[in-house]
């Protein structure tokens, strides 16, 4: 690891895994503000007006990868992360930790570079330092650069009447428009394209397979995340959500809802892979097989 200036901030941590790198802000956050091939484009979106900014009580989105508290709440979720973070190395991992916010919630992102597997492992945690128990979930949002396409699998197919009960929820927001041409509702894979100048779209769902991808710049970002059978998930049962607007697209995973007592913590793991020079097949069945094989070879 090395400490570098980045994007107008004086201090950021650069972590390397093979030919990929992460840059984590130290002056604010914790935020992963860059992820990509060394010397290549940033796979993450940066909000230019926020770069280098610090301090103040106004929430800034910054871009990059952030840890939020779900379900979304204007007060508890939108607590600013505009101050410096504590950083330490522990058992081969780099730990980035904020100060508790005014509600006593403290965020931590622990990053391990796993060179043998070609991945970064992200262990997110939110600790409750308040006086009361709180029900919430860790919510990991990765804001991807514009111009790409998000892909996530449909529920496994079983013919009727072999399975007669619902397979999983598909959750819509008031602004969700299923007729929008940015969507492709495949039999095996759902796709959402980011198109410059086009407004918000979002869905949530339960991805029991535990993976989603984003194709851009001739690469594919693969995010692995857990699925807990029988757990209660937020947003009507979603452990995965994707959102897009005029400039970016988010690939989001959520943990189960948990009642966290004072002094307790809720944790959520992701594994990140960057598949260089890959392109998802256009055909739905071929894409599903390709995506499943890619995920099977790249575990959580």
- Three-state secondary structure along 183-221? EEECCCEEEEECCCCCCCEEEEECCCCCEEEEEECCEEE
CA separation for the pair 254, 230 (Å, rounded): 15
**CB distance 104 to 131 below 8 Å:** yes
Q: Considering its fold, how many domains does the chain have in total? A: 1
Residue 236 CB partners (closer than 8 Å, separation 6+): 169, 171, 204
- Which residue, among 19, 136, 122, has the nearest Cα to 65 in the 3D structure? 122
Domain CATH code at residue 102: 2.70.98.10
CA separation for the pair 158, 163 (Å, rounded): 6
Percent of the chain residues topping a pLDDT of 90: 99
How remote is the C-alpha of 204 from its chain's centroid?
13
Tens digit of each residue's pLDDT (9 = 90 or more) over 5-44: 999 999 999 999 999 999 999 999 999 999 999 999 999 9
Sign of the C-alpha dihedral computed for residues 237, 296, 213 and 22 taken in this order: positive
Mean pLDDT of 138-152: 98
Q: Residue 201 belongs to what domain range?
A: 2-296
Mean pLDDT of 125-129: 98
Tens digit of each residue's pLDDT (9 = 90 or more) over 233-278: 999 999 999 999 999 999 999 999 999 999 999 999 999 999 999 9
Tens digit of each residue's pLDDT (9 = 90 or more) over 164-183: 999 999 999 999 999 999 99
């Amino acid at each position: 690891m090395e400490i570098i200036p980045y994007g107008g901030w004086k201090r950021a941590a650069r972590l390397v895994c093979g030919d990929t790198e992460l840059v984590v802000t130290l002056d604010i956050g914790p935020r992963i503000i860059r992820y990509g091939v060394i010397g290549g484009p940033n796979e993450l979106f940066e909000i230019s007006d926020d770069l280098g900014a610090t301090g103040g009580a106004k929430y800034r989105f910054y871009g990059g990868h952030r840890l939020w508290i779900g379900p979304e709440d204007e007060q508890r979720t939108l607590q600013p992360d505009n101050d410096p973070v504590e950083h330490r190395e522990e058992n081969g991992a780099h730990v980035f930790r904020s100060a508790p916010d005014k509600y006593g919630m403290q965020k931590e992102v622990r990053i391990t570079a796993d060179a043998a597997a070609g991945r970064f492992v992200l262990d997110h945690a939110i600790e409750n330092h308040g006086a009361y128990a709180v029900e919430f979930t860790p919510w990991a949002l990765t804001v991807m650069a514009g111009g790409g396409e998000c892909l996530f699998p449909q529920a496994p197919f079983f013919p009727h009447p072999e399975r007669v009960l619902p397979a999983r929820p598909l959750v819509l927001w008031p602004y969700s428009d299923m007729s929008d041409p940015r969507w492709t509702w495949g039999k095996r894979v759902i796709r959402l394209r980011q198109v410059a100048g086009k407004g918000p779209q979002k869905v949530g769902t339960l991805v029991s397979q535990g993976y989603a991808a984003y194709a851009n710049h001739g690469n594919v970002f693969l995010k692995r995340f857990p699925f807990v059978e029988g757990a209660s998930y937020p947003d009507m049962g979603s452990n995965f959500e994707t959102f897009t607007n005029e400039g970016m697209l988010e690939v989001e995973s959520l943990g189960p809802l948990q009642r966290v007592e004072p002094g307790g913590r809720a944790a959520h793991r992701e594994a990140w892979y960057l598949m260089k020079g890959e392109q998802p097949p256009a055909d739905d069945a071929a894409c599903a097989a390709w995506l499943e094989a890619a995920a099977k070879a790249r575990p959580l």
